[in-house]
Structure 1
């Protein structure tokens, strides 16, 4: 492990101008250490030994931070770009600690894979797999590892054409994969490993698809289903869909929901869960939504074993059997899956006049833009909203 520390006047000797250098001391537990200049010379009175920064000089502190970041970035990405463990002597490869001069020996493919692996603990398994597919497709298209110098507008444009032609991906998949690649290219630019982002000139083209949602009347038909005899086995699939609608939970969160995510409050059941996909915490007061129907379902399916899941089914099984439920409810819309419940639930709250910021929080979104992506209002909804305006 490498440790970084700022030191002032290491040699305990001031220059004729009464100043000394601020240096970066880099050392390992084995006792080895090296020192790098920051180019900042100050008087003893300017140095804050407690906070290890220059007093009242933002520019000097910025220069120190920039130098420190260069060293740390070089150490962090060295194993991925050079194929071996980092040693303090490897700083010599930086050529006076200039990260840009070391860039030609690196490959973007190695950097991107290292970053994907570093991000892995904080993302869902499906997200990690999706990012690795992009990495594999990128190298397959290029015929080998992609160097930083390969990342030009022309390269990205050819890769886009290959996605649509050679790899036969649909527009939405192409768009999603571009966003993943852009994420890691942008990160490389910020780390000083790439001078310019080719996506600054390339426009990602996707296809706008109208999401299918269920109306209030269709939801009521599902709620009113009487499932008896052989159809009784469909009850759990109907109830799982309704629970996803009432709570706006993703299917990944619905299927991992256990009693430890539920708190009994004075008002009712509170869902308090870290989302599988985003790792963000979401809290849902079930007694305040849809007349408490969600908490009624939760109590009905309360696991008999501690730590057991409420819905002991797979996502594939849920979507497959949902079709039978929809058929019984006389709903013949296409492209309806369990995620439709989340879209429909979010749209319903917005239609009822709940503030977008509140909907955003309940849905566990990071920003309003994402929440608005889930809202699908019809012309009738718009007309009704305008009719409620009493004065202009």
Structure 2
């Protein structure tokens, strides 16, 4: 199965689709967001993702606190205040979509409002974003998923904090709207995710339970090791939190990949894809050439006169591999020599 997002095909034997998640690491600054998009493009990402929200639409309690690490210190503040200062206006989002288009990188967003005004705006004629991302926090918001699915856009759903049953409910809800363009991202909603909590083997579980869908990985770990492992396990999409500077203020900067780290992640993922190669054992021209040099052939260990019964001691197996394979050695033992064989003669099928 393949799904097209923008100008990229995803799934099957297509290259892994790598998304730089800007999240709220633009700190509410349009200029910083544009710099991030450009840096993500230069680092080799296929796409960037933003978050589109009106804080009042998803934070119901303004006193709800959130504690995070920023600039080496623990910060506790109101979730409402944190998200409010990172909101992007519709004009700012339009500017970012246009900027991404101008530098030829795919952009899409995670809309987060129960009124659906945001997703309607993003999927409307003006922006017409190519895919809808659903965050882990909305995995069980089935009415929202149903509305999103009606847009007939590819849907990428993260599964952090989710049970297998909840993931199945989400997929069923989307499919009921006749939308099968679904990408499921294995995700752990811990920031950052420690190695012992990554549970990348769940990618295999998702492949087993959703064989008709594309499986990917939303990576909240530090570094690129998890992303590379996910590719080996079959992930076709990787989403990675991204920042220009780990020392900027905010909850996600310190563990997000900076441009150098994202560049390394992209390079290592591409190397992993190349190294995985094919599943068949059809040898390349280069290896066939090496086979003739490095394999052994059945060879006369000493002079063998015509008419003599060939003994095991008369034979040896040495390089090159241009003659009969050693696996046939016993077929020569007990045979009558058809002619005189000098020491070092390489036997072939015609000598049997």
TM-score category of the 2 structures, normalised to the smaller one: under 0.3
* TM-score, L = length of structure 1: 0.23
More strand by share: 2
* TM-score, L = length of structure 2: 0.25
